[in-house]
Structure 1
Amino acid sequence: MYRSTKVTNEQDADDIRIVTEHQLLLESVFGKAATKTFGEAVASYVESGGSDRFLRPITEVFGKFRLRDIKQNDLNAAAAKLYPTAQPETRNRQCYTPFIAVWNHAVKNGWAEVRLWQRPRKPKGTNVVRIRSARSGQAPVDYERAAKFVSFMSPAPAMVLTALFYTGLRPIEAFALEAADVDVAKRWLVVRKSKTGEPRGVPLHSFLCEWLGPLVERGGILFRGPRGEPYKEVQDGGGGLKTAINGARRRSGIKDVSPYTGRHSVSTQLVVNGVHPHIKDQLLGHAADSMSRHYTNVPQKPLIEAIDTLPVPASWRALPWVAAPLEWQSKLAEGTGKRTDLKKAGRVDTHALPRPRT
C-alpha cells in the first residue's frame, strides 16, 4: 500500500507508518471490526444520509475510540457528562438515540457486533413530581385551532406548516423534500433522508393533493420561502419557520403552536380516530423495519385511508393560497416584511395579504 503520511518530519512519518501497519495487520487477521473507530462510523453514517443532529458532542467523546472498545458504562458516563442536569428523556433523545443509530449503521457494515444498548428510564412511582413550564410543540392542538393559527401566517410558511399537520413529517424532512419525491396522483411521497438515516414512504392527505400539484410541477425543492429560497434547519429551533411562527403567535395570540406541533397533533388525532397503533407508527416513521423499506415507493392503501381521517376545517380549505399556491407564495401576511426601499421610491407596498378574519 502506498499512502502519503502528509507530514514533513521523518520521525513523525515513521510513527504513522508503524501505526498504519499495525492497523492493517489487525484488519487482515480480525477484519475491519477490529480497527474501525466511532468517528469513522459517524462519517459513513452521515454520508449515507443519516442526520448529524446531536452527533458532534458525542463524536468529540468517542471519535477516536475503536467501536469494539466502547461499552455500556462508557455510553452512560458520556451521557452524564454531556447532559449533567438533563432529564432521562432528554439524554435519550440527544445522546443515546443518535449513538445507537450510528452503532446500528456500523453493524450493518460489519464493523461492530449487534448489541442491545440500555437507555435511561424515567423514575417509577407516583411520588415523583416534576414541575416545569410547558413548552410549545410538545403537545397537540385541535385542527380548528391550528387552522386559525395558519391563517395568520404568510402563504409560503403556511404551506409548510399545513404539510406538517397533514403528514406528521419532522420539519427537517419537509424542508428536504424535492418535487421528484412527491407523486400527487398516487397520493404518496418519499422521505429520502430521515432521522434514522433510512428512507420511508408517507401517504398524502386528500387536502394536500388539492394544492401541491403546482409546487411539484415547478420542480426542485418543494417548499420555499417568500423569496424563493429553500428552508434551512436551525439546531434546536424552528429553522426557517422560526420568524414566521413568532409573527403568527404575535398576530393571532396563539402561543402553543410550533413546527413540531403538527407531528404531535397527527399522532394524537390518529389515536382518537381509532387508527391501529401499527398503522400510526408506520405513518410517523416509528416502525420502519427492513421489509417495509423495500416498498418505500409503493403507495399503501391502509396508510392513505388512515391519513385521510384527519379533519380539514372549512376555514383552512378557504385560505386564498390553497387555490393558487404559486401565485400567493411570495405574498406576506399583514404586519410583516416592511419594505423601506418602496418608501424611498415613493411607491406603495401592495405585497402584503389582508389580515385574516377571526
Structure 2
Amino acid sequence: MPNVYQRKGSEVWHYSFTVDGERYRRSAETDDKRLAEDIAIKHEALVRRAVVHGEEAVLTFPDAVAEYLDDGKDGRFLAKLIRHFKGWKVKDINGPEIRKAAKIIYPDASPATWNRQVITPMRAVINHIAEAKRLPKISVKRFKEEKKRRPAGNTDWLSAFSKTAKALDMPETAALARFLFETATRVSEACRLTWDDVNLQLGVAFLERTKNGEGRKVFLTRAMVVDLANIRSRHPTLVFAAANRSTVKKRIDKVITAAKLPRLTSHEFGRHGFATEMIVRNGVDVATTADHGGWKSRRLLMEIYVEGDADREVIDRVFGKKKSP
C-alpha cells in the first residue's frame, strides 16, 4: 500500500511506494487525500505490472508521444492521433489499426494525406519509443498514392525571379530563392539560418537543425556568395530576415506576381527544383544528389525521379556554370 503524505507547509499530497527494491516518490498534484490515494494505488499497480509482464504491457500511446516530444521531435499531426488512440497500449497498435484510423480521422482525405498525417507520425512515435525501450518496432504499409507530376524550378525561372526581386529592392528574397534552389534547403531551415552559420570566405553554410534531425553543410556557388554578401549589412542576425514560412510566402508571391512567372511554391522551385536540376537535367547520380540535398532516404529520390561521394565540384558544375544576375 503506498504511503500518502503532505510536506510541511504544503496542502498538496505526495506518495511513495517500493517495487522490486526500487523506491518511487511522486506528487499527486491534488489537495484531495482520497484522490491522491487512488492515484498512488493506480501508479503502484502499473509499476508492478510492468515489472512482472514487461514495460510493453503498460505503455500507452500518450506515454509514447510524451517521450517523443520530450526528445524534441516534431509534434505536427499528433493531437488527433492522441485523441483516437487515447487509452490504447502501444503493443495493441498494429499496421491495420493505423490504416483504419487514418480513414476514420480523415474520412475525406487523400491517400497522400493518410500517409503524411497518420502513418508517418504513428510509425515515428512507436518506433522511437521502441528503440528507447528495446521493444519491437512496427512496420506499416503505406496507402498507394497517385503520382502527380509537380512543376520544378530551373535556372531560367530563378534568373527572372532574381532580377525582379532585386528591382523591387528585395535582394534578401532573391538570395533566399537561390539558396533554396541551389542547396535543397527547406524554408523552415533557411529561416533559422544566422550569419554565424555562414562562412562566405570558404563558401559554405551549416544547417544545424534539419527535418531529419541531422545537421549538414551546404556549398555556396560564387553567385550565391555574392548575393549573401550584398545583404550582409541589411540583416545583422537572421540571414534572410524572415522568421517563418508565412513571411517567406508573402515575399515570394509578390515577386512572382510582379515578374509574371509561373506560380511555384518554395518547395517546387527549391528542393524539387534542386533534385530535378541535379538528376534529370544534369545526370548526377541519386546518391550524390541525396548527399548534397540532405535526403536521408535515397529511396525517396528514386521513387520521385529516375550512386557517389559529396564534394564541391558537382555543385559548382551544376549551379555555378552560368553567370546569373
> TM-score of the superposition, structure 2-length normalised?
0.75
Provide Cα deviations, 1:93-149, integer angstroms capped at 9, x if missing partner. 2221222222332233126422222111237xxxxxx9x9x9xxx420221112212
Larger radius of gyration: 2
- Cα drift, residue 201 of structure 1: 1.5
- Structure 2: distance between partners of 1:71 and 1:91: 15
Q: Residue 27 of structure 1 contacts residue 34 of structure 1 at CA under 8 Å; is this kept in 2?
A: yes
User: Which residue of the other structure, out of 173, 177, 196, is the alignment partner of 1:157?
Assistant: 173
Provide Cα deviations, 1:61-110, integer angstroms capped at 9, x if missing partner. 23543322211122112211222222222221222122222233223312
**Equivalent residue for 2:193?**
177
Q: Which runs of 5+ in 1 are unaligned?
A: 124-129, 226-230, 234-238, 290-299, 319-358
Aligned ranges 1:1-358 → 2 under 5 Å: 1-110=24-133, 112-122=135-145, 138-153=150-165, 154-196=170-212, 198-206=213-221, 207-212=223-228, 215=232, 220-225=237-242, 231-233=243-245, 239-261=246-268, 262-271=270-279, 272-287=281-296, 302-311=310-319, 317-318=324-325
Q: Percent identity?
A: 24
- Structure 2: distance between partners of 1:41 and 1:121: 27
Tell me the secondary structure at the aligned position of residue 122 of structure 2: helix
- Structure 2: distance between partners of 1:201 and 1:254: 31
Aligned residues: 285
Higher helix share: 2
- Structure 2: distance between partners of 1:308 and 1:29: 61
- Cα drift, residue 199 of structure 1: 1.0
Q: Letter of the aligned partner of 1:143 in structure 2?
A: T
Provide Cα deviations, 1:256-275, integer angstroms capped at 9, x if missing partner. 22211211100111112111
Q: Which runs of 5+ in 2 are unaligned?
A: 1-23, 299-307
Larger relative contact order (C-alpha < 8 A, sep ≥ 6)? Answer: 1
Q: Letter of the aligned partner of 1:204 in structure 2?
A: F
Q: Letter of the aligned partner of 1:103 in structure 2?
A: I
> TM-score of the superposition, structure 1-length normalised?
0.69
User: CA 1:283–1:62 in 2, change beyond 3 Å: closer, same or farther?
Assistant: farther
- Cα drift, residue 183 of structure 1: 4.2
CA RMSD of aligned residues (A): 3.2
Tell me the secondary structure at the aligned position of residue 107 of structure 2: coil
Higher strand share: 2
